[in-house]
């Protein structure tokens, strides 16, 4: 009987090198996503701390006026108490948002492709970016897709990529940002469209900039590195990205489109499997 032929040592070595290189790329991406998450949470904490000062100072001032009998009438005193209550609710809303941000996870090292509800995804992205947009006086228009629209992706990875792209627009002094679904809900490929008015020179970065990181790059991710990271994340969740040139109808504006496979059929398959007893 003929024994099994042993693969040549050179072939085994080449396979090992390829596997090691894939592991390096995988962990490099995981490191970048973790660093981005920490940078995002740190920035959000700093912005929230600043935002908390205004309503807290308003509550202190209103209560001080009441305690020192500076109100002209009981009606004015009740009005001050109502304003203080409104300011307190603003503080609680910011604290709730800060708690939610602190619990964000980056997910697994490998993306888990599954049906993702785009309406829920858009709502989470809006919640995570509304403070940054407001602080930079940027108009952010977001249109929620219908509830029945599902795309195939990893929800945690895709959410992080969209937040990164919007923050890149804000960091590059964009004054108008719009995120919406432009394809039909039943189309085989769902198209998420991000319109912005960033200068094209700031949006485009050399591809080798990300390839050389972190060996030749700062520990804090610049907008260019974040763009490279976001594109890498989208590639891992099987999304196709199209960077369009500046639009003719909106001078100075540009458009980015993310194509996702429609996950409606897979969604029903998952629900049928979950319902089997």
> How many domains are there within the chain?
2
The label of the residue with tokens 């090691």 reads 20
- Closest by Cα among 143, 128, 129, 136 to 174: 136
DSSP state of 4: P
pLDDT(36) > 90: no
DSSP state of 262: B
| Domain identity same for 126 and 249 | yes
What's the pLDDT score for residue 229? Answer: 85
pLDDT bucket at 276, cuts 50 / 70 / 90 = very low
Mean pLDDT confidence for 226-248:
80
Mean pLDDT confidence for 19-23:
69
| Domain identity same for 201 and 74 | no
Percent of the chain whose pLDDT exceeds 90: 30
Asked whether residue 7 is assigned to any structural domain, the reply reads: no
- Residue 107, classed as helix, strand or coil, is coil
| Domain identity same for 54 and 139 | no
pLDDT(240) > 70: yes
d(CA 194, CA 196): 7
| Domain identity same for 25 and 145 | no
The pTM score is 0.76
| Domain identity same for 195 and 266 | yes
DSSP state of 139: E
The residue out of 67, 88, 110 marking a domain boundary is 110
> For residue 69, what are its two tokens?
């009998």
Full residue range of the structural domain in which residue 227 is found:
114-272
Mean pLDDT confidence for 62-88:
90
| Domain identity same for 133 and 185 | yes
| Domain identity same for 68 and 100 | yes
| Domain identity same for 118 and 197 | yes
CB 261 within 8 A of CB 152: yes
What's the pLDDT score for residue 85? Answer: 92
Min mean pLDDT across 72-86, 112-126, 218-232 is at: 218-232
Q: Residue 220: what are its φ and ψ, rounded to 5°?
A: -90, 130
| Domain identity same for 132 and 252 | yes
**How many residues are given for the chain?**
277
CATH number at residue 163: 3.30.565.10
Asked whether residue 250 is assigned to any structural domain, the reply reads: yes
Mean pLDDT of the chain: 79
Q: Around Cβ 186, how many Cβ atoms within 10 Å?
A: 10
What's the pLDDT score for residue 51? Answer: 82
């Amino acid at each position: 009987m003929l024994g099994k032929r042993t693969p040549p040592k050179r072939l085994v070595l080449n396979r090992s090198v390829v596997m090691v290189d894939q592991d390096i790329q995988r962990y490099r991406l995981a490191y970048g996503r973790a660093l981005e998450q920490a940078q995002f949470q740190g920035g959000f904490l700093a912005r929230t701390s600043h935002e908390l000062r205004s309503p807290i100072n308003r509550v202190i001032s209103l209560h001080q006026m009441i305690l020192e009998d500076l109100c002209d009438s009981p009606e004015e005193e009740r009005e001050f108490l109502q304003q203080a209550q409104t300011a307190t609710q603003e503080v609680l809303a910011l604290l709730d948002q800060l708690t939610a941000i602190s619990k964000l996870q980056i997910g697994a090292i490998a993306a888990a492709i599954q049906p993702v509800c785009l309406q829920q995804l858009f709502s989470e992205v809006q919640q995570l970016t509304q403070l940054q947009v407001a602080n930079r006086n940027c108009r952010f228009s977001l249109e929620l897709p219908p509830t029945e629209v599902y795309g195939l992706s990893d929800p945690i990875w895709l959410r992080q990529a969209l937040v990164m792209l919007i923050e890149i627009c804000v960091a590059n002094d964009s004054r108008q940002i719009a995120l919406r679904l432009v394809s039909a809900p039943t189309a085989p490929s769902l198209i998420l469209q991000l319109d912005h008015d960033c200068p094209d020179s700031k949006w485009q970065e050399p591809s080798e900039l990300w390839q050389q990181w972190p060996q030749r790059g700062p520990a804090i991710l610049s907008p260019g590195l974040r763009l490279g990271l976001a594109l890498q994340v989208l590639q891992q969740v099987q999304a196709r990205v199209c960077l369009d040139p500046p639009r003719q109808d909106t001078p100075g504006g540009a458009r980015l489109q993310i194509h996702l496979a429609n996950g409606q059929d897979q969604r029903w398959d998952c629900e049928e499997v979950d319902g089997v007893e």
